[in-house]
Amino acid sequence: MKTELSFFTEPCVRVIDGRAAADYLLVSIGHRVQQAGLTPGLAVILVGSDPASSVYVRNKGRCAQACGFLSRQYDLPETTAESELIELIERLNVDPDIHGILVQLPLPRQIDPHRVIQAIEPAKDVDGFHYRNVGLLAAGNPGEALVPCTPLGCLHLIRQQLGDSLSGRHAVVIGRSNIVGKPMANLLLQADCTVTVLHSRSQDPEKLCRQADIVVAAVGIPGLVKSSWIKPGAVVIDVGINRLEQADGTARLVGDVDFDDVYPVASAITPVPGGVGPMTIAMLMQNTLESAMRLNGKR
């Protein structure tokens, strides 16, 4: 009796390893620093003692040192006046050893984050939040801008899965924040994607999202995106970092995508944690190196 072969037909889903991608990029940055013969300088300013912010700042400092950068951390008290913070930024703006300035958000209530961000020299604004950098990106000149780190990391992961040519693919960005949603949409537009941005006023977001080849979720709602939102074979990038309290008093991090539900449908998906997060820090290092190269006339 002839035995017929049976084939496993479930989509081959890849969990995108953001840590591995970031590590590879950081090694590359370290090599480029040595080849360029310069020492990029990164200054990170922390106002107050928010535990999560303190961890982020320490991680950025360690990463900068591992890449061969000069790393400076400025820890300011919670009561720091806005004028004091801006005065420090102005000193760093003209410091030739510093090529990247980052002010860790959120800031205490007495400080206007918009005024602080606009006080940073645009060429040293490695977060990519200054209006000049925002405008250059929106105008289609990302090569002249410093691009926000998280969307830049997302694009890197998307290209890893789909290659350099994203032309004609339909991308849906869920969320329209200035930090992720809007710059992500601009980057995808410049990659010749057809881009839809979903937000709190969008009608029938599930239907719109289900049309996408690429989904980037950055809205801050735990588990919002279910399998019914995803076209089979889509690449799903989850930017959300939401802390859920457990019955035993501990907390766990989850994304905006219901990972277990979406996993069987997507062709590739980022986990939380371990997906986009490590790429954000790696892209910060890339922006700092890029700034150092430009300011030293090596670009």
**Residue 207 designated active-site:** no
Domain ranges of the chain: 36-128, 149-277
Residue 227 annotated as lining a ligand binding site: no
Other CB atoms closer than 10 Å to residue 30's CB: what's the count? 16
pLDDT digits (tens, 9 = 90+) for 75-89: 999 999 999 999 999
Residue 176 annotated as lining a ligand binding site: yes
Given the residues 35, 75, 97, 104, select the one marked as catalytic.
Answer: 104
Instruction: Give the mean pLDDT of 266-280.
Output: 97
Q: Check pLDDT > 50 for residue 261.
A: yes
Instruction: Give the mean pLDDT of 162-179.
Output: 95
**Residue 127 designated active-site:** yes
Q: What residues have CB less than 8 Å from 225, skipping those under 6 apart?
A: 174, 209, 215, 217, 236, 238, 256, 257, 258, 262
Confidence grade of residue 246 (pLDDT, cut at 50, 70, 90): confident
CATH of the domain spanning 149-277: 3.40.50.720
One fold for both 36-128 and 149-277? yes
Residue 175 annotated as lining a ligand binding site: yes
Confidence grade of residue 13 (pLDDT, cut at 50, 70, 90): low
Q: Check pLDDT > 70 for residue 132.
A: yes
Q: Check pLDDT > 70 for residue 2.
A: no
Given the residues 125, 127, 238, 256, select the one marked as catalytic.
Answer: 127
Q: Check pLDDT > 50 for residue 9.
A: no
Percent of the chain with pLDDT over 70: 96
**Residue 2 designated active-site:** no
Residue 163 annotated as lining a ligand binding site: no
Three-class SS string for the chain?
CCCCCCCCCCCCCEECCHHHHHHHHHHHHHHHHHHHCCCCEEEEEEECCCHHHHHHHHHHHHHHHHCCCEEEEEEECCCCCHHHHHHHHHHHHCCCCCCEEEECCCCCCCCCHHHHHHHCCHHHECCCCCHHHHHHHHCCCHHHCCCCHHHHHHHHHHHHHHCCCCCCCEEEEECCCCCCHHHHHHHHHHCCCEEEEECCCCCCHHHHHCCCCEEEECCCCCCCECHHHCCCCCEEEECCCEEEECCCCCEEEECCECHHHHCCCCCEECCCCCCHHHHHHHHHHHHHHHHHHHHCCCC
Phi, psi dihedral angles at 158 (to 5 degrees): -65, -45
pLDDT of residue 250: 84
- Classified by CATH at the fold level, domain 36-128 comes out as Rossmann fold (3.40.50)
How far, in Å, are 52, 53, 114, 117, 124 from residue 105 at the CA level? 10, 7, 11, 10, 17
pLDDT of residue 51: 85
pLDDT of residue 12: 53
pLDDT digits (tens, 9 = 90+) for 14-54: 999 999 999 999 999 999 999 999 999 999 999 998 888 88
Average pLDDT, the chain: 93
For residues 64 and 102, is the Cβ–Cβ distance under 8 A?
A: no
